[in-house]
């Protein structure tokens, strides 16, 4: 093969390779379309405030006006837990029920709002589709009012078919983007709920220990009260004889000797004493 033929072959292979690369890049670009669904609140947090477990802090809003929003939510969440676990006299099972109920209500609220948004999206999608198809129908009627060549007719209907395909393709992509957005938000909420449940369980175990200590102290106080109530009442200050004898001081030796001599005097008849003698 001559040098000229080899050069031609190399140039042809280069052009084929470049064409293949352009086609491949075009396919990649079409497969990574930008998100066509845009939320009404593009700067929304990972989990919206109304789905978070927070205490009622309306009365402090003015005082906390300078505090960042995220910090406010963290403080409110801490306040919620503190209020729930503050009283050690409450039954732990009731505290657990309150937490589960609060989290369940937030989950229900989240699901209801998602369903509302899905319904709104579906209604808007349907109305837009109806308007688009109606417009195509009006265009066809307008076109068919006059005579056209075969080429003109083919061109018109081909363009309408391309418009229809393009519209439904964009709607399908937008629907997929919406569902992806919903899935991501649901995952964020589930992660949030899971983390709050883990935090609560740690605090709940500490609360159970405080409740057990409270019950022990309560039982001890009740037992002491019963003992005090069953003791005999004190009616006076007299001392029992046995107690007095046990605590009396020993007699003086001289007194003891005198008493002994007195006890040794023999008993004799007494002498009557008469007056005048």
DSSP calls for 196-227: HHHHHHHHHHHHHHHHHHHHHHHHHHHHHHHH
**What's residue 79's pLDDT?**
84
Model confidence band, residue 29 (pLDDT cutoffs 50, 70, 90): very low
**What's residue 276's pLDDT?**
45
**What's residue 259's pLDDT?**
55
The pLDDT tens digits of the residues spanning 107-161 come to: 999 999 999 999 999 999 999 999 999 999 999 999 999 999 999 999 999 999 9
More confident residue, 163 or 78: 163
Crossing angle between the packed helical segments 69-84 and 150-230, to the nearest 10 degrees: 40
Structure tokens at 273: 């004493």
**What's residue 4's pLDDT?**
46
Sequence-distant (6+) residues with CB within 8 A of 92 are 204, 207, 208, 211
More confident residue, 248 or 259: 259
More confident residue, 221 or 262: 221
Q: What pTM was estimated for this model as a whole?
A: 0.57
User: H or E element: which one contains 98?
Assistant: helix 92-144
> Each residue of 106-126: b (16+ CB within 10 Å) or e?
beeebeeeeeebeeebeeeee
């Amino acid at each position: 093969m001559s040098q000229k033929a080899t050069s031609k072959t190399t140039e042809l292979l280069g052009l084929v390779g470049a064409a293949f690369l352009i086609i491949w890049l075009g396919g990649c670009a079409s497969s990574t379309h930008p998100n066509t669904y845009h939320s009404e609140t593009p700067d929304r947090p990972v989990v919206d405030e109304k789905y978070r477990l927070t205490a009622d802090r309306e009365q402090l809003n003015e005082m906390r006006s300078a505090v960042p929003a995220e910090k406010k939510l963290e403080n409110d969440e801490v306040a919620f837990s503190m209020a729930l676990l503050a009283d050690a006299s409450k039954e732990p099972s009731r505290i657990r029920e309150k937490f589960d109920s609060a989290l369940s209500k937030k989950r229900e609220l989240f699901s209801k709002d998602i369903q509302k948004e899905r319904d709104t999206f579906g209604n808007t999608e349907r109305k837009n589709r109806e308007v688009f198809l109606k417009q195509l129908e009006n265009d066809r009627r307008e076109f068919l009012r006059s005579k056209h060549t075969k080429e003109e007719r083919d061109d018109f209907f081909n363009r309408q078919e391309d418009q229809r395909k393009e519209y439904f393709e964009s709607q399908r992509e937008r629907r997929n983007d919406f569902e992806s957005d919903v899935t991501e938000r649901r995952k964020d909420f589930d992660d949030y709920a899971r983390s709050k449940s883990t935090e609560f369980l740690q605090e709940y175990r500490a609360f159970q220990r405080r409740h057990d200590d409270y019950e022990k102290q309560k039982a001890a106080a009740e037992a002491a009260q019963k003992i005090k109530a069953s003791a005999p009442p004190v009616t006076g200050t007299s001392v029992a004889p046995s107690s007095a004898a046990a605590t009396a001081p020993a007699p003086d030796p001289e007194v003891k000797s005198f008493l002994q001599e007195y006890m040794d005097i023999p008993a004799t008849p007494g002498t009557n004493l008469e007056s005048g003698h």
